[in-house]
Amino acid sequence: MKKIIIDAHAKINLSLDVLKRREDGYHELEMIMQQIALKDVITIEERDAGFTIASNSKEIPLDQSNLVYKAYNVMAKKFNINKGIHIYIEKNIPVAGGLAGGSTDAAAVLKGLNTLWKLNLREDQLMDIGLKIGADVPYCIMGGTALAKGIGEKLTRLKSFSDRLILIANPGLNISTADVYNNLKLEKITDRPHTENMLKYIEKGDTELVAKEMKNVLEGVTIKENPILNKIKEQMISHGALGSLMSGSGPTIFGIFSDSTDLAKCEENLKYSIKTVLSTKTV
Ligand code: ATP
Protein backbone atom coordinates (compact mmCIF):
# COMPACT_ATOMS: atom_id res chain seq x y z
CA MET A 1 0.00 0.00 0.00
CA LYS A 2 1.28 3.46 -0.87
CA LYS A 3 1.88 6.04 1.86
CA ILE A 4 2.92 9.69 1.87
CA ILE A 5 3.93 12.02 4.73
CA ILE A 6 3.41 15.79 4.41
CA ASP A 7 4.29 18.68 6.75
CA ALA A 8 1.41 21.06 7.50
CA HIS A 9 2.82 24.34 8.82
CA ALA A 10 0.91 26.85 10.94
CA LYS A 11 0.61 30.52 10.00
CA ILE A 12 0.65 33.79 11.91
CA ASN A 13 -0.71 37.15 10.73
CA LEU A 14 1.92 39.88 10.70
CA SER A 15 -1.03 42.20 10.02
CA LEU A 16 -4.79 41.82 9.66
CA ASP A 17 -7.19 44.49 8.45
CA VAL A 18 -10.92 44.15 7.79
CA LEU A 19 -11.89 46.58 5.02
CA LYS A 20 -15.62 45.99 4.69
CA ARG A 21 -18.49 43.58 5.10
CA ARG A 22 -19.62 42.19 1.74
CA GLU A 23 -23.22 41.63 0.74
CA ASP A 24 -22.68 37.85 0.85
CA GLY A 25 -21.72 38.13 4.55
CA TYR A 26 -17.99 37.56 4.02
CA HIS A 27 -15.47 40.22 5.03
CA GLU A 28 -13.05 41.91 2.67
CA LEU A 29 -9.62 41.50 4.28
CA GLU A 30 -6.05 42.70 3.85
CA MET A 31 -3.53 40.54 5.68
CA ILE A 32 0.12 39.68 5.69
CA MET A 33 0.48 35.94 6.23
CA GLN A 34 3.60 34.22 7.47
CA GLN A 35 4.28 30.51 7.84
CA ILE A 36 6.09 29.25 10.94
CA ALA A 37 8.09 26.10 11.62
CA LEU A 38 5.42 24.78 14.03
CA LYS A 39 3.62 22.05 12.10
CA ASP A 40 1.24 19.12 12.11
CA VAL A 41 2.43 16.02 10.28
CA ILE A 42 -0.09 14.35 7.99
CA THR A 43 0.33 10.72 6.94
CA ILE A 44 -1.88 9.59 4.04
CA GLU A 45 -2.08 5.84 3.38
CA GLU A 46 -3.91 4.02 0.61
CA ARG A 47 -6.38 1.37 1.76
CA ASP A 48 -8.63 -1.04 -0.15
CA ALA A 49 -11.79 0.91 0.67
CA GLY A 50 -13.35 3.53 2.95
CA PHE A 51 -12.05 6.70 4.60
CA THR A 52 -10.76 6.87 8.19
CA ILE A 53 -8.98 9.47 10.33
CA ALA A 54 -6.90 9.00 13.47
CA SER A 55 -4.98 11.55 15.54
CA ASN A 56 -2.91 11.99 18.70
CA SER A 57 -5.23 14.92 19.57
CA LYS A 58 -8.49 14.54 21.47
CA GLU A 59 -9.48 18.11 20.55
CA ILE A 60 -10.27 17.61 16.87
CA PRO A 61 -13.23 15.79 15.32
CA LEU A 62 -12.42 12.49 13.57
CA ASP A 63 -15.64 12.43 11.55
CA GLN A 64 -16.76 14.18 8.36
CA SER A 65 -16.47 17.61 9.97
CA ASN A 66 -12.67 17.32 9.97
CA LEU A 67 -11.28 19.51 7.19
CA VAL A 68 -9.04 16.67 5.97
CA TYR A 69 -12.21 14.71 5.15
CA LYS A 70 -13.52 17.70 3.16
CA ALA A 71 -10.21 17.85 1.28
CA TYR A 72 -10.33 14.12 0.46
CA ASN A 73 -13.99 14.31 -0.53
CA VAL A 74 -13.57 17.26 -2.90
CA MET A 75 -10.62 15.53 -4.66
CA ALA A 76 -12.28 12.08 -4.85
CA LYS A 77 -15.45 13.60 -6.35
CA LYS A 78 -13.70 15.98 -8.76
CA PHE A 79 -11.45 13.27 -10.20
CA ASN A 80 -13.89 10.40 -9.75
CA ILE A 81 -11.45 8.34 -7.69
CA ASN A 82 -12.82 5.58 -5.53
CA LYS A 83 -9.76 4.42 -3.55
CA GLY A 84 -9.73 3.93 0.22
CA ILE A 85 -7.66 6.34 2.34
CA HIS A 86 -6.51 6.45 5.98
CA ILE A 87 -5.18 9.75 7.36
CA TYR A 88 -3.20 10.16 10.56
CA ILE A 89 -2.98 13.72 11.92
CA GLU A 90 -0.07 14.33 14.27
CA LYS A 91 -1.51 17.51 15.82
CA ASN A 92 1.07 19.92 17.24
CA ILE A 93 -0.63 23.22 16.30
CA PRO A 94 -2.92 24.52 19.10
CA VAL A 95 -6.52 23.85 17.99
CA ALA A 96 -8.82 26.82 17.31
CA GLY A 97 -5.94 29.17 17.98
CA GLY A 98 -5.94 31.51 14.98
CA LEU A 99 -3.01 29.57 13.49
CA ALA A 100 -5.01 27.97 10.62
CA GLY A 101 -4.48 24.44 11.99
CA GLY A 102 -7.43 22.88 10.18
CA SER A 103 -6.78 24.75 6.91
CA THR A 104 -3.14 23.69 6.78
CA ASP A 105 -4.08 20.03 7.39
CA ALA A 106 -6.56 20.26 4.49
CA ALA A 107 -3.90 21.91 2.28
CA ALA A 108 -1.48 19.06 3.09
CA VAL A 109 -4.10 16.46 2.10
CA LEU A 110 -4.73 18.22 -1.24
CA LYS A 111 -0.97 18.22 -1.95
CA GLY A 112 -0.58 14.64 -0.74
CA LEU A 113 -3.44 13.24 -2.83
CA ASN A 114 -2.14 15.15 -5.87
CA THR A 115 1.09 13.14 -5.53
CA LEU A 116 -0.43 9.83 -4.40
CA TRP A 117 -3.03 9.78 -7.19
CA LYS A 118 -0.55 11.18 -9.78
CA LEU A 119 -2.92 14.00 -10.76
CA ASN A 120 -0.12 16.40 -11.77
CA LEU A 121 -2.14 19.46 -10.73
CA ARG A 122 -0.27 22.77 -10.67
CA GLU A 123 -0.13 24.81 -7.44
CA ASP A 124 -2.70 27.34 -8.74
CA GLN A 125 -5.12 24.52 -9.58
CA LEU A 126 -4.73 23.05 -6.09
CA MET A 127 -5.31 26.53 -4.64
CA ASP A 128 -8.59 26.87 -6.58
CA ILE A 129 -9.74 23.52 -5.17
CA GLY A 130 -8.57 24.61 -1.69
CA LEU A 131 -10.80 27.68 -1.75
CA LYS A 132 -13.84 25.36 -1.80
CA ILE A 133 -12.73 24.06 1.62
CA GLY A 134 -11.83 27.33 3.32
CA ALA A 135 -10.56 30.88 2.72
CA ASP A 136 -7.15 30.19 4.33
CA VAL A 137 -6.50 26.94 2.43
CA PRO A 138 -5.06 28.54 -0.77
CA TYR A 139 -2.51 30.44 1.34
CA CYS A 140 -1.61 27.25 3.25
CA ILE A 141 -0.86 25.60 -0.11
CA MET A 142 1.30 28.55 -1.22
CA GLY A 143 3.10 29.02 2.13
CA GLY A 144 5.95 31.43 2.91
CA THR A 145 5.25 35.16 3.24
CA ALA A 146 2.25 36.56 1.35
CA LEU A 147 -0.16 39.46 1.05
CA ALA A 148 -3.74 38.17 1.15
CA LYS A 149 -6.73 40.19 -0.05
CA GLY A 150 -10.38 39.43 -0.85
CA ILE A 151 -11.55 36.87 1.70
CA GLY A 152 -7.93 35.73 1.89
CA GLU A 153 -7.75 34.06 -1.53
CA LYS A 154 -6.17 36.85 -3.60
CA LEU A 155 -2.55 36.13 -2.86
CA THR A 156 0.71 37.86 -3.74
CA ARG A 157 3.95 36.16 -2.75
CA LEU A 158 6.31 38.48 -0.84
CA LYS A 159 10.04 38.40 -0.24
CA SER A 160 10.79 35.68 2.30
CA PHE A 161 10.73 36.82 5.94
CA SER A 162 12.17 33.52 7.22
CA ASP A 163 14.33 32.66 10.26
CA ARG A 164 12.88 35.25 12.66
CA LEU A 165 12.55 33.99 16.26
CA ILE A 166 8.92 33.58 17.31
CA LEU A 167 7.34 32.79 20.69
CA ILE A 168 3.76 31.49 20.64
CA ALA A 169 1.46 31.67 23.69
CA ASN A 170 -2.03 30.20 23.67
CA PRO A 171 -4.06 30.36 26.89
CA GLY A 172 -6.60 27.85 25.52
CA LEU A 173 -9.58 30.23 25.64
CA ASN A 174 -12.62 29.30 23.61
CA ILE A 175 -12.87 31.98 20.90
CA SER A 176 -15.40 31.71 18.08
CA THR A 177 -14.11 33.29 14.86
CA ALA A 178 -17.71 33.96 13.76
CA ASP A 179 -18.49 35.81 17.03
CA VAL A 180 -15.36 37.94 16.72
CA TYR A 181 -16.35 39.08 13.21
CA ASN A 182 -19.97 39.64 14.28
CA ASN A 183 -18.85 41.81 17.19
CA LEU A 184 -16.45 43.86 15.08
CA LYS A 185 -17.71 47.44 14.63
CA LEU A 186 -16.09 48.42 11.34
CA GLU A 187 -17.01 52.10 11.64
CA LYS A 188 -15.27 52.29 15.03
CA ILE A 189 -11.86 51.01 13.92
CA THR A 190 -9.37 53.87 14.16
CA ASP A 191 -6.04 52.05 14.48
CA ARG A 192 -5.51 50.11 11.24
CA PRO A 193 -2.41 48.34 9.91
CA HIS A 194 -0.34 50.39 7.47
CA THR A 195 -0.02 47.66 4.84
CA GLU A 196 2.08 49.77 2.42
CA ASN A 197 4.68 50.35 5.15
CA MET A 198 4.67 46.66 6.11
CA LEU A 199 5.30 45.68 2.47
CA LYS A 200 8.28 48.10 2.33
CA TYR A 201 9.75 46.78 5.58
CA ILE A 202 9.35 43.14 4.50
CA GLU A 203 11.03 43.96 1.17
CA LYS A 204 13.93 45.53 3.14
CA GLY A 205 14.02 42.52 5.48
CA ASP A 206 13.92 44.89 8.48
CA THR A 207 12.71 42.74 11.40
CA GLU A 208 12.48 45.62 13.87
CA LEU A 209 10.36 47.85 11.64
CA VAL A 210 8.06 44.93 10.70
CA ALA A 211 7.63 43.99 14.38
CA LYS A 212 6.85 47.59 15.40
CA GLU A 213 4.30 48.07 12.60
CA MET A 214 2.33 44.83 13.25
CA LYS A 215 -1.40 45.37 13.82
CA ASN A 216 -4.54 43.23 13.89
CA VAL A 217 -7.93 45.00 14.03
CA LEU A 218 -9.56 41.89 15.57
CA GLU A 219 -7.56 42.48 18.76
CA GLY A 220 -10.10 45.22 19.53
CA VAL A 221 -12.80 42.55 19.92
CA THR A 222 -10.96 39.50 21.30
CA ILE A 223 -8.60 41.30 23.70
CA LYS A 224 -11.34 43.56 25.04
CA GLU A 225 -13.20 40.43 26.15
CA ASN A 226 -10.07 38.57 27.30
CA PRO A 227 -7.70 41.00 29.03
CA ILE A 228 -5.24 38.18 29.81
CA LEU A 229 -4.18 38.43 26.16
CA ASN A 230 -2.96 41.98 26.73
CA LYS A 231 -0.97 40.76 29.76
CA ILE A 232 0.76 38.18 27.53
CA LYS A 233 1.59 40.90 24.98
CA GLU A 234 3.00 43.12 27.74
CA GLN A 235 5.09 40.25 29.13
CA MET A 236 6.55 39.56 25.69
CA ILE A 237 7.47 43.22 25.22
CA SER A 238 8.94 43.51 28.74
CA HIS A 239 11.09 40.44 27.97
CA GLY A 240 12.54 42.14 24.90
CA ALA A 241 10.18 41.18 22.06
CA LEU A 242 10.47 43.62 19.15
CA GLY A 243 6.70 43.37 18.74
CA SER A 244 3.80 41.18 19.85
CA LEU A 245 0.43 40.55 18.19
CA MET A 246 -2.64 38.33 18.23
CA SER A 247 -2.87 35.93 15.28
CA GLY A 248 -6.15 35.71 13.32
CA SER A 249 -9.18 36.02 15.60
CA GLY A 250 -7.08 34.70 18.48
CA PRO A 251 -6.48 33.68 21.10
CA THR A 252 -2.86 32.90 20.17
CA ILE A 253 -0.41 35.73 20.86
CA PHE A 254 3.04 35.70 19.27
CA GLY A 255 6.15 37.78 19.78
CA ILE A 256 9.07 38.41 17.42
CA PHE A 257 12.43 38.36 19.22
CA SER A 258 15.92 39.26 18.04
CA ASP A 259 17.65 37.56 20.98
CA SER A 260 17.20 33.83 21.72
CA THR A 261 18.11 34.30 25.42
CA ASP A 262 15.33 36.90 25.83
CA LEU A 263 12.92 34.54 24.12
CA ALA A 264 13.93 31.60 26.35
CA LYS A 265 13.44 33.72 29.50
CA CYS A 266 10.02 34.86 28.32
CA GLU A 267 9.05 31.27 27.44
CA GLU A 268 10.12 30.08 30.91
CA ASN A 269 8.12 32.84 32.54
CA LEU A 270 4.89 32.37 30.55
CA LYS A 271 4.95 28.57 30.90
CA TYR A 272 3.79 28.75 34.52
CA SER A 273 0.46 30.35 33.74
CA ILE A 274 -0.30 29.78 30.03
CA LYS A 275 -1.58 26.47 28.60
CA THR A 276 0.63 26.29 25.50
CA VAL A 277 3.91 28.16 25.08
CA LEU A 278 6.18 27.24 22.17
CA SER A 279 9.27 28.71 20.57
CA THR A 280 9.48 28.50 16.81
CA LYS A 281 10.64 30.61 13.85
CA THR A 282 9.30 31.96 10.60
CA VAL A 283 9.91 29.79 7.50
P1 ATP B 1 -8.58 29.88 11.50
O2 ATP B 1 -7.39 30.71 11.91
O3 ATP B 1 -8.55 29.42 10.07
O4 ATP B 1 -9.91 30.41 11.96
P5 ATP B 1 -7.99 28.27 13.71
O6 ATP B 1 -6.51 28.06 13.68
O7 ATP B 1 -8.50 29.32 14.61
O8 ATP B 1 -8.46 28.50 12.24
P9 ATP B 1 -8.47 25.46 13.73
O10 ATP B 1 -7.31 24.90 14.51
O11 ATP B 1 -8.47 25.29 12.27
O12 ATP B 1 -8.71 26.98 14.12
O13 ATP B 1 -9.80 24.85 14.38
C14 ATP B 1 -11.07 25.40 14.20
C15 ATP B 1 -12.13 24.30 14.38
O16 ATP B 1 -12.07 23.45 13.26
C17 ATP B 1 -11.85 23.43 15.60
O18 ATP B 1 -12.70 23.76 16.63
C19 ATP B 1 -12.06 22.01 15.12
O20 ATP B 1 -13.18 21.41 15.72
C21 ATP B 1 -12.32 22.10 13.61
N22 ATP B 1 -11.41 21.24 12.81
C23 ATP B 1 -11.77 20.48 11.79
N24 ATP B 1 -10.72 19.83 11.25
C25 ATP B 1 -9.64 20.20 11.96
C26 ATP B 1 -8.26 19.87 11.89
N27 ATP B 1 -7.78 19.00 10.98
N28 ATP B 1 -7.43 20.48 12.76
C29 ATP B 1 -7.92 21.35 13.67
N30 ATP B 1 -9.21 21.68 13.80
C31 ATP B 1 -10.08 21.12 12.95
Under the banding of pLDDT at 50, 70 and 90, the label for residue 39 is very high
The radius of gyration of the chain's CA atoms, rounded to the nearest angstrom, is 19
Distance CA 97, CA 115 (A): 29
Spell out the residues 6+ positions from residue 236 whose beta carbon is closer than 8 angstroms to its own. 167, 169, 244, 253, 255, 266
Protein residue whose Cα sits closest to atom 27 of ligand 1: 102
pTM above 0.75, yes or no: yes
- Which atom of ligand 1 sits closest to the CA of residue 68? 27
Known catalytic residues are: 11, 136
- The CATH topology of domain 3-157 is Ribosomal Protein S5; domain 2 (3.30.230)
Give distance in angstroms: CA of 64 to centre of ligand 1: 13
Is the beta carbon of 40 within 6 A of some atom in ligand 1?
Answer: no
Distances (CA, A) of 53 to 66, 207, 259: 9, 40, 40
Instruction: Determine whether the shortest distance from the Cβ of 250 to ligand 1 is under 6 A.
Output: no
Q: Give span(s): CATH 3.30.70.890, the chain.
A: 165-281
What pLDDT band is residue 172 in, cutting at 50, 70 and 90?
very high
pLDDT digits (tens, 9 = 90+) for 43-66: 999 999 999 999 999 999 999 999
Alpha-carbon distance of 2 to 89, in angstroms, equals 17
- What is 165-281's CATH topology? Alpha-Beta Plaits (3.30.70)
Task: Please indicate whether residue 94, judged by its CB atom, sits closer than 6 Å to ligand 1.
Answer: no
Q: Of the candidates 130, 114, 104, which has an alpha carbon nearest to the alpha carbon of residue 7?
A: 104
Q: CATH 3.30.230.10 spans which residues of the chain?
A: 3-157
Q: Is the CB of 18 under 6 A from ligand 1?
A: no
